[in-house]
Structure 1
Amino acid sequence: MIRIHFIVNPIAGHGNAPLTQEELQPFFINGVHDLTIKVSEYKAHATELTKASIQEKADIIVACGGDGTINEVATCLIGTDIALGIVPMGSGNGLASNLKIPKKRRKALEIIRNKHVERMDVGNINGRYFFSNTGVGFDASLIKHYESSEKRTILGYISACAITFRDIEKNEPLSITVDEETPMINPFIILISNSNEMGYKLSLTPKASLQDGLLDVLVIKKIGKFKMLWLGFLILIRKVHWLKESKSFQTKNIQLKCDDSEFFDTQVDGEHNRIDNNHLNISLLEKSLCVLTAK
């Protein structure tokens, strides 16, 4: 018997299409697959449910939600032989897209049933895991403002962008050092990627791979408003390297130090994360997570 547990975030993707036993049953075989659905009710509840599923000897644990839900579930499975399945139900679905898991639920469930397992790399930032990317600068501030907004819509996202642009202009100068090199004042973005997508098919690191044993790092120095608009266009066409203020490289480890603050505002897989330390140690755990993908 193959025990498959589905951890469902009911509000992912505006909560319009919850997963049910009736929907799952046609894709699996009675007597072969034992299906369990668990619904998360609050932040970090998916982690608790996943830990319980591990104790219940689940063979496959499926994260049904966006990148935040996937992070909570996958974090518990690192270093185990339990396979992570994904049913993309969020807005961005960056990791699922990188793994070529379709948003069409029927096709995602077929991947879970077919049980093709691969191993992928996992990032670590000061003890917290990330699977797609982490970073500081504009994207971290944007997510911070978006999460604090009551408008989880495109209008809320635009409003968060406007606030973030305003803050860039009025913030006190911030000096950040990357791997002991010359400090940068108010860098626009420092993005460390494990995957080649951030969601919505957008990418700042299009050559990143989940299985190459390396992190892809993009550093963009402070830029003006015109260059920000140019950067937005370059992101759309996946040509960020055309921006002369950008620098890209690959590494297994990277350290960031903030000279003017006792904490870092970061984003981890698209969620705001404040780290009460002025040092960030970011590293890679090679092939440490089993994940179900299309063949």
Structure 2
Amino acid sequence: MSGTVKICFIVNPVAGKRAARARCRERLAALTSRSGVVAEFRTTTGNLHARKLALSAIEEGFERVVSVGGDGTMNEVASALVNTGVPIGLVPLGSGNGLARNLGLPLDFDRAVEVALTGGVRTIDSGRVNGQAFFNVMGVGYDAELGRRFNDSKRRGFLTYLGLGVSVFCSYRMQRYEIGTEGNAPVVFDAFLLSVANSTQYGNGAHIAPGASLDDGRLDLVGITTSNPVCVPGLLTRLFSGKMDRSSHVVTISSGRFDILRQLPGPVHTDGEIHEMDTKLEVEVLPMSLKVVVPDGPQ
């Protein structure tokens, strides 16, 4: 890359481990100063601020915009860059980092910054549900309800999340879903969890849709059709071994569009971000709509 390239780093100041947060801007400045690029650093202050900063960066002529944070920050920045031709770089600091993992990006901070500065560009699909963009996975059911309750909780941390996970698992009831796809009769089934994936995994090696591809012009729907605790160990084993689609308790459908009708309105997550939506969900793929910076050179 030429030394005249302008790169905007959008930093979530509360992402990542506490010990590393104080040094994040300092490390970014040191790494970028050695690269010769023109870099600016902008810090988010709340919900949707990363998207606003990304839109401003486009207007100001930045040639790359780098998300420094978790999946929520990635989602906000990427949603501003769809169909603009401006690539997004990722310095993943979240707990899942599903898209970054699927792209083969390093999770080490310094190496991730190096890729964001010097990597090549790949074009991938994105998804949209009722107008809300997603790039990794969107979903309804158990995981969306858990996300809503965690967001509403005054306590944070893994133990809080784990405790809520058990509570929601014990209380959540499966819903009936009617799934319409392009030119096919609707499919109806009851599900505990329903995900539509652009990428293969939630993050941390949890491969909810092992057959998904980021650039095939399709999305992969995955429905878990049991809430029986006896089935949980087997499903978890398949989730982390990349064999989720081989379970008799899992429905998988691939399509460029899904019209989903559920029994009740409620939470929907897009890359982990929670939204309240009605019973009708219109999910569609936006083929080859986002440019991302990757370590392997142009794709």
* TM-score of the pair, normalised by structure 1: 0.91
- Structure 1 vs Structure 2 CA RMSD: 1.8
Does the aligned pair in 1 maintain the 2:210–2:244 contact within 8 Å? no
Residues 150-190 of structure 1: CA distance to partner in whole angstroms, max 9, x if unpaired?
3332211211211211222xx5x7432111635334x1111
Does the aligned pair in 1 maintain the 2:87–2:293 contact within 8 Å? yes
User: After alignment, is 197-206 or 285-294 more displaced?
Assistant: 197-206
Shift of 1:64: 0.3
Partner of 2:289: 288
Residues 118-150 of structure 1: CA distance to partner in whole angstroms, max 9, x if unpaired?
101000101110000111111111212222223
Partner of 2:250: 246
1:1-295 maps to which residues of 2 (within 5 A)? 1-18=4-21, 19-21=24-26, 23-29=28-34, 32-168=36-172, 171=173, 174-179=175-180, 181-185=186-190, 187-258=191-262, 260-261=263-264, 263-275=265-277, 277-295=278-296
Partners of 1:130 and 1:264 lie apart in 2 by 18
Shift of 1:237: 2.0
Identity fraction in percent: 29
Partners of 1:293 and 1:128 lie apart in 2 by 24
Secondary structure at 2:66's aligned position in 1? strand
Shift of 1:86: 0.6
State the one-letter code of the partner of 1:190.
Answer: L
Q: Residues 14, 41 of structure 1: CA spacing in aligned structure 2 closer, same or farther, 3 A cutoff? A: farther
Partners of 1:271 and 1:62 lie apart in 2 by 19
Give structure 1 stretches of 5+ with no counterpart.
none
Does the aligned pair in 2 maintain the 1:218–1:249 contact within 8 Å? yes
Residues 48-80 of structure 1: CA distance to partner in whole angstroms, max 9, x if unpaired?
111121121111100000110000000000111
Residues 84-122 of structure 1: CA distance to partner in whole angstroms, max 9, x if unpaired?
011011111111111111111121122122241110100
State the one-letter code of the partner of 2:124.
Answer: M
Does the aligned pair in 2 maintain the 1:145–1:163 contact within 8 Å? no
State the one-letter code of the partner of 1:243.
Answer: S
Residues 196-251 of structure 1: CA distance to partner in whole angstroms, max 9, x if unpaired?
12111211112211111111111222331111232122212222233212121211
State the one-letter code of the partner of 1:178.
Answer: I
User: After alignment, is 142-151 or 116-125 more displaced?
Assistant: 142-151
Does the aligned pair in 2 maintain the 1:21–1:37 contact within 8 Å? no
Does the aligned pair in 2 maintain the 1:12–1:91 contact within 8 Å? no
Partners of 1:136 and 1:29 lie apart in 2 by 45
Shift of 1:29: 4.9
Q: How many residues were matched structurally?
A: 287
Give structure 2 stretches of 5+ with no counterpart.
none
Secondary structure at 1:13's aligned position in 2? coil
State the one-letter code of the partner of 1:228.
Answer: V
User: After alignment, is 263-272 or 146-155 more displaced?
Assistant: 146-155
Shift of 1:280: 0.5
Partners of 2:17 and 2:30 lie apart in 1 by 24
Does the aligned pair in 1 maintain the 2:12–2:69 contact within 8 Å? yes
Secondary structure at 1:73's aligned position in 2? helix
Does the aligned pair in 2 maintain the 1:118–1:292 contact within 8 Å? yes
Partners of 2:169 and 2:222 lie apart in 1 by 20
Does the aligned pair in 1 maintain the 2:149–2:164 contact within 8 Å? yes
Secondary structure at 2:90's aligned position in 1? strand
